Structure 1
Amino acid sequence: MDQYVEILHWNTQHGRKLDAAIAWLRKRAKAAGRMPAALMLNELQPGQGEHVGGELGLLHYPAPVDDGLDPADSRRRNLNAIFIDPDGPLVPDPEWVANWTGPWMPPATLPVNLRNPDGTLSSRQLYLACEHACYWHPGYRETTARFYTVLGKDGRLVHVDGDFNAWTVGRAPLTLANVADRAFAQNRSVLCGTALVADDIADRLMTAGGFVYVHGHAAEYLGIEGADAPTTDHGPDKERQLIPEEDQPERGLSAIDRTYTTAELIPAVIDANVITDPDVDALADHKPRYTRYGYPDLVAITNLPVELVHH
């Protein structure tokens, strides 16, 4: 069995250049000798998830979709999905049925077991989630973050990848008062007393719920330079959303695409980074990112005896 388990996340920008993205993923897998154990994708259009799975030979686990919604509704058009390498170390729970009763876009969720060196399955499951938080409503972003703290019930192992459309504590804009696009500024703000401040609520909730921001951990404790760098650029179509340098924190703005894991998994993280490549940057307005867990450490953690309490 390989010595690490990789999970890769990418917001595909509405799947506009999906075939080129698939070609890059295939090329990367050939160079590495394998696909990521799990691939998390955002903003897939109807039918594209099946296309990705078929082209790359991956198992496709889409987010639940409300068939009663109008086909033009963005909650049916910009889809989240998890893909699993059937020959890899993660084995999906065949009985899992994803559901969602919250607002905005449903996340894709999937519990998996780790394949042990002897071929048996780990005694504990790892819950995977791929999300795209609401770009315009901070309350919806908060609700989604609270969902993960419920998914991550006491004793559970959870890995969340997604576009959180907000910042981390200490790496949010000092003010959004000087952003030209006032709708964007309000969308990314929350009320604090009578003042509007940049939204970092999801990061606060995830941290309070026992999660750790993986790429922040990688930068600070693993010494991986650029691991917590921003994952999006402001092209010509978003110039009016630019946050002036004087309104940015000393350490710069955080990424809005982030990975969180339950703290128990952090000792197994051996690598996490943002993929910076001009050829890849041309495929979407978000950069892909990966997390790698050391396989022996993950085997140990996923086989620890833990008694889960069902309330």
Structure 2
Amino acid sequence: MSAAVTAHELVKTYPKGVTALDRLSLTVEPGEVLGLLGPNGAGKSTTVKILTTLARPDSGTASVGGHDVLRHPERVRRVIGVVSQRSGLDPAASGRENLMLQGHLFGMRGATLRRRVDELLETVGVADAQHRAVRGWSGGMQRRLDIALGLVHRPAVLFLDEPTTGLDPEGRARLWTEIARLAGADLAILLTTHYLDEADRLADRVAIVAGGRIVTQGTPAQLKAELRGDAVHLELRETHEALDAVRVVTALPGLRDVSVDQRRLSARADDGAAAVPGVLAALETAGLPVTSVTVARPSLDDVYLKHAGQRIAAEVAA
């Protein structure tokens, strides 16, 4: 069975010499959830725009559902569902009316469409509210209906762009359940998210983007297993103090993979507990007191910081 999504050597440059994609390649297999992770500006959104025919690459090739995105964009649009960060719902219409309209846009009619709408309302758990205007729905209910919109025409590939942003913990957990339920069979899902725990729970495979290219990929378990030793996480009072602390920590023996994310500085050590006293002493001497410190086994956060955060730390330490 061929891949549901294939991108090969994609290059995209914006005005003023900004390189969004630098020979990026990826695949998503049928029935697979691929989590696409990376900092803002890494190239995630540009990749999704090209794969959903909303942008053209400067070079490279891509196919979705067996159709070339440049030669047959109209065929690609027929086989994809897209749930963007901004809701596509009509707030004045009911849940059922939103789904019926979406079906009409894809040429669906009559009993076939009504059955599909009934099925989706039950699947995403909003059937009880189907006749109410969605403006009165909770954020979590609206987001589940957004996903249903993307599934009306039974797509081969579903693009989920930051699907749980802005939801409270309960809403996120409920939506995770719905996404996990959808995964499998032949539906391929490309998920972009800033929540590392979300990718760890939902993704069969994770690809981390930095500088417009894939810097590492694999299953969450594989990526975490590649990290040796303990993770040491330090919270500083201010972001600028964390940036200053990178230079101090980088110079200490026994620490590696130093990275920074806002006020949090992270590093790896063979024995994290033994390394902490020396780190704290060095930062105290430098006038950079630490507000909290934790030592933990590798997590997907550590994988992300190693590959996407290390270039930030290298620039600061230079």
Q: Same fold (TM over 0.5)?
A: no
TM interval, shorter chain, is 0.3 to 0.5
Specify the structure having the higher radius of gyration (Cα): 2
